[in-house]
Amino acid sequence: MWGGFRCDVPRSRGCFCVSSRAQQIPAHRGRGPMKPIRLILVIAFSCPAFSAVAQDLLKSQPPVWAGQPDITAFEKLENKHLAQAQSSIDAIIAIKGLRTIANTLAAYDEAVRHINSAAYLAGLMEQVHSDSTLRDHAMAMLSKASAAQSSLSLHPRPGKYSHAAMFQVLDGVRGKQLPEAALICNFPAPAATEPGLNDYDDVETFFHEFGHLMNWILGGQQRWAAISGLSPEMDFVEAPSQMLEDLLRSPNVLATFARHYKTGEPTPAELVKRMNRASTFLRVGKTAQQNGFAAISFDMYKSNPDKLDPDAICDEDFHRYLFLRMSPGTEHFYASFGHLAEYSSAYYTYMWDKVIVEDFFSKFNPDDPFAGDAPVRYRRLVLEPGASMPASELVKNFLGRPQNMTAFKQWMNAEFETTSAGD
């Protein structure tokens, strides 16, 4: 789900009065190294109290850079800020009793301060540093800081939204505001006698929603909020999410995190191979089912509301695509089809984007999706542009051609392919 839509599967605020905080402004003089210049509002020195605070800050807060910034020092400083932010977040999560200003709000403000500090400096270095390598590292750090501002709510509780979704929190605007989003899921929670393990479907759901999150975060660096984040065409938004689902086919990807909770053993490659093989079973039938759902959503919204018979539409569309009829007692399927209210007539988005996803994934190494230049090209050409260009251009830029059905047909036919062993 994205933006409050279901799928199957705060930033600090303040008011400006007078600031005595020392800020770092880079300046070049001649051909020498970049040196920091300290700017303090002159009005601050008109008041003795402000003057004293400012003088103390000048002594206790040294310039961020005393010379030309280098990659090692830059990343050390950035990681220090993010580690301190995580420490504050961990402290908030660990609270068992009454939440107070001291144990919650103050810790939250510290987390925001350190995340913002990391993001501000990374954004500056990405824009102004003369070394392209450091600018690339700064871009990576900016993404890391942005990720730190993504919220997670992964376990069920009374009154909580019961499905899985990515909700936007803040639009990203380059140079003004970092994008924020929240992942809302309902995975098994650990208990005294249960470790709270996720099954494969849970992991696939998480990857799906995380795909939406990456689309929102990485695409959230546009000049204007209106073109930041997700694609402007609704029927492309499920492509980045389904794209991440395909990563789970790779034993190399699963081995990085999917381990036995007692022994630490990674998921065996042979087991992953068998799982992939099993996942092809009835793939054609499941695709036909998705077509049936898409037909229902379309037919519901194209019909005259005064003459609409939801049960008849469901029965006819299921029969058309699945050769089934609704059995007595199974009527009113539409009442639990949440997408009818959220995606209206556009449920076809899932299958439309599945065709694009398989075309995308054909450019990756299926055994090691992180190998080669495909991952970086996908990020730069599909995710980072956000809504700044039509989806058809994003697709064509990555593939080098318009999309086609070839890869999707191969995916569909996998159920009927034999393995090397002939089974």
Task: State the catalytic residues.
Answer: 209
Distance CA 196, CA 348 (A): 34
Give the type of residue at 73: A
Q: Cβ neighbours of residue 229 under 8 Å, at least 6 residues apart?
A: 168, 171, 172, 179, 215, 216, 219, 220, 386, 387
207-to-78, 97, 210, 400 alpha-carbon distances in Å:
27, 33, 5, 26
Nearest to 350 by CA among 210, 245, 198: 245
Whether residue 155 contacts residue 187, with contact meaning beta carbons closer than 8 Å, is answered with: yes
Give me the long-range contacts of 123-131 (CB less than 8 A, separation at least 24).
123/175, 124/26, 125/69, 125/74, 127/175, 128/26, 129/69, 131/71
Return the exposure string of 268-286: e unless at least 16 CB atoms fall within 10 Å of the residue's CB, then b.
eeeebeeeeeebeeeeeee
Distance CA 298, CA 235 (A): 14
Whether residue 166 contacts residue 154, with contact meaning beta carbons closer than 8 Å, is answered with: no
Distance CA 326, CA 179 (A): 45
Q: Return the residue matching tokens 């499905």.
A: 163
Distance, first Cα to last Cα, the chain? 37
